[in-house]
């Protein structure tokens, strides 16, 4: 409950237990989030997501460094993901949907131009769009968030916001993100896509790649549990693609969790909410974030239809 005081989890025995789980094989439990299914539209990396009902006809666009996310709020709502390198495809989809208003956010939003489908887009703050979108998605999930919490946008990089109600303020971030995974995956594994990398990671065991505390302290006198990561990629006993992919997710997840938990503590916050396209069909990363965040003393939550948080928030801002 929003006003209910809950006992804050510590980083003692309970936290150590979560750290142990975070490096165990078979941690890829899928949380029950709304699904995202591939669209029948060919080419340009299209996806259609869960429909969401509303009586208005607003189009929210979140144009990021890698993906352009579209959310149409109308009687039969629709969402789509299109690579940010395909703005012609974005404009074509807008013309098909024929919205009454367009609200755009994100670093590449200006590439839409001054007019699209006969409409002049209204530019909205990315921080405000994400804060509003998180509120919208949380209500649809039946997730009751506290008045103040940390909101994490996992995209090409990672932004960290403090949210108060529907208002957000950026409090930090990191260059670690989906772009890191794709770049390292291409270099190390010749993985052709983000989807290929996430599929490989599901089948891997990063304990064969990462150096663990137990590998260093063989006498059992370690200051930390033996299964805690001492050095990412520090062992490299296996160079199988699946194990390397799993280790990449661990490298990203553990370090993002550390940064977000530190920022949460700095601002006196206990709840960390994760969203963004890097979590799409990526249970390995989601599980690492969940276990690591809990081990560090915060309460993690994950937004369903996570990629569309900013786009949905932009559309919602058009209804006020």
Catalytic residue numbers read 126
- Find, among 166, 242, 238, the residue nearest to 199 by Cα: 242
Q: What is d(CA 319, CA 200) in angstroms, rounded to the nearest whole number?
A: 42
DSSP state string for 13-48: HHHHHHHHHHTSTT--PPP----EEE-S--STT-EE
Instruction: Find the length of the chain.
Output: 320
Q: How large is the C-alpha radius of gyration of the chain?
A: 20
Pairing of strands 58-63, 67-73: antiparallel
Q: What is d(CA 112, CA 210) in angstroms, rounded to the nearest whole number?
A: 43
- Find, among 33, 20, 13, the residue nearest to 291 by Cα: 20
**Assigned token pair, 253:** 């997840």
- Find, among 169, 73, 74, the residue nearest to 128 by Cα: 169
SS3 state at 88:
helix
**Assigned token pair, 87:** 């703005």
């Amino acid at each position: 409950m929003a006003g209910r005081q809950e006992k804050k989890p510590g980083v003692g025995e309970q936290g150590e237990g979560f750290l142990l789980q975070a490096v165990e094989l078979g941690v890829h439990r899928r949380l029950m989030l709304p699904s995202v299914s591939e669209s029948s539209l060919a080419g340009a990396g299209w996806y259609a997501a869960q429909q969401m009902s509303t009586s208005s006809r607003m189009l929210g666009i979140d144009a990021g460094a890698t993906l352009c996310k579209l959310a149409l709020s109308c009687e039969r709502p629709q969402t789509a993901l299109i690579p940010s390198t395909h703005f012609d495809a974005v404009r074509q989809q807008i013309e098909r949907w024929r919205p009454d208003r367009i609200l755009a956010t994100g670093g590449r939003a200006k590439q839409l131009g001054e007019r699209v489908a006969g409409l002049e887009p209204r530019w909205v703050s990315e921080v405000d769009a994400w804060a509003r979108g998180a509120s919208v998605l949380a209500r649809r999930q039946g997730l009751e968030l506290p008045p103040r919490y940390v909101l994490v946008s996992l995209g090409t990089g990672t932004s960290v916001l403090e949210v108060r109600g529907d208002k957000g303020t950026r409090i930090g971030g990191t260059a670690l993100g989906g772009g890191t995974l794709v770049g390292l995956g291409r270099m190390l594994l010749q993985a052709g896509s983000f989807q290929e990398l996430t599929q490989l990671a599901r089948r891997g065991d990063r304990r064969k790649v990462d150096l663990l505390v137990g590998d260093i302290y063989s006498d059992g006198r370690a200051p930390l549990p033996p299964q805690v990561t001492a050095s990412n990629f520090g062992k490299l006993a296996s160079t199988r693609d699946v194990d390397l992919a799993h280790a990449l997710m661990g490298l990203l997840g553990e370090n993002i969790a550390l940064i977000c938990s530190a920022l949460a503590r700095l601002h006196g916050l206990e709840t960390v909410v994760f969203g963004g396209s890097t979590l799409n069909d990526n249970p390995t990363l989601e599980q690492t974030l969940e276990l690591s965040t809990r081990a560090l003393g915060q309460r993690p939550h994950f937004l369903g239809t996570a990629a569309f948080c900013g786009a949905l928030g932009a559309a919602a801002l058009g209804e006020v």
